Copies of this chain bind each other. A is one copy, B any other.
Amino acid sequence: MDDESAEDLTVGRVARLAGVTVRTLHHYDRIGLVRPSGRTSAGYRVYGADDLERLRWVLVYRELGFPLDEVRLLVDDPDVDTVGHLRRQRDLLIERGERLVAMVAAIDRHLEARAMGMRLTPEEQLEVFGTDKVGGEWADEAERRWGETDAYQESQRRAAAYTKDDWARLKAEGDTALRAWRDALLAGLPADGPEAMALAEEHRQHITRWFYDCGYDIHVGLAEMYLADERFTQVYEDVAPGLAQYVHDAILANAVSHI
């Protein structure tokens, strides 16, 4: 048995093995990232075991989001702090994940704001997406500039994907619900009582009907937001003091009852 035969890995084979294209291997060869340890007399690339090993690491780091230059550093220098790099990359991924979560929350807020017929200011709409640069000048200036112009409100209205009828019904439903909430609160009905929980359930279905599939977990998330985000708190508090908390508690109670 000659070990030689094990060495005749051509680009095509390696490409299939590693799940990349031949072009990619050519590229990595050219930029010196993964070079085949040999060539046949005809000039064919011949990859050895070490080359594969190296390629594997390259692909791992690449998948982790390192640019190829940094990948090179990582695989070239064995003294480099690999574990440290992985740790940092891990942090980076988690950070990205948190950003994603924040964006999802922003979308939820956006949708929910529409459900309630609220107008977000551009600043508010941009806040999660933009960098921190957005805050200052925008808050000071844009709010003042665009906040209350008719054109702005008009564009806001047009931005919605609903027909005017839809919008009107949506708004009406929301207002009705809001009054029902107020009545329940003022009547002294407990937030974890059947009436309030029924309102919560209705609220959940309202969102599901008009916006997105709102499960109990998401609903609870919204409830938390109602307390955490003062823009939403305000909407409820304007109707009746303590209503935000009341709605929150009712949603929680309703969710718990459905576990």
Name A residues whose Cβ lies closer than 8 Å to a Cβ of B.
3, 6, 13, 16-19, 48-50, 52-53, 56-57, 59-60, 63-64, 78-84, 86-87, 89-90, 93-94, 96-97, 100-101, 103-104, 107-108, 110-111, 114, 122, 125-126, 129-131, 133-134, 137-138, 141-142, 145-146, 149, 151-152, 155-156, 158-161, 210-213
Contact = CB atoms under 8 A, between A and B. Distances in A.
Given A93-B104, A97-B101, A152-B53, A78 B161 contact: yes
Given A19-B130, A57-B159, 19 more contacts: A6-B146, A6-B149, A49-B151, A49-B155, A53-B122, A53-B155, A53-B156, A53-B159, A56-B122, A56-B125, A59-B130, A64-B107, A78-B161, A83-B111, A83-B211, A86-B110, A89-B107, A90-B107, A100-B100
A152 B3 CA distance: 12
A255 to B, nearest CB: 19
Given A52-B122, A146-B49, A211-B83, A78 B158 contact: yes
A86 B107 contact: yes
Contacts of A158: 78
A212 B83 contact: yes
A78 B159 CA distance: 7
A181 to B, nearest CB: 23
Give the interface SS of chain A, mostly helix, strand, loop or mixed.
Answer: helix
A100 B100 CA distance: 10
A96 B163 CA distance: 32
Contacts of A122: 17, 52-53, 56
Contacts of A129: 19, 59-60, 63-64
Contacts of A93: 100, 103-104, 107
